[in-house]
Structure 1
């Protein structure tokens, strides 16, 4: 698994608020993934449950 910060996520939206897709032909997430999503994603890949204390969500079904 590789994580990275795109660096200019605030520029990834068109002036009308829609997703700016000129930079990719891949699907885009409905919400911006966050650092808190990394651990739940790793747990899901490993087949382990996410503890209730974790606020993030698994991104496995998003990619």
Structure 2
């Protein structure tokens, strides 16, 4: 297994090529998420927050 920085770099490379919309969400300030009840809004917000935290930690490794 590689270093933490290598794993994070691989994750970002994957996201940039396979899920560019998620990167756009991370770059947007603020993000408004709305929809019907039980449509996954909280799950999406958690995902964006998680990757945002990884993005910040990536620069400190």
Above 0.5 in TM-score? no
Q: Which has the higher contact order (CA 8 A, sep 6+)?
A: 2
Greater share of helix: 2
The TM-score, its normalising length taken from structure 1, stands at 0.30
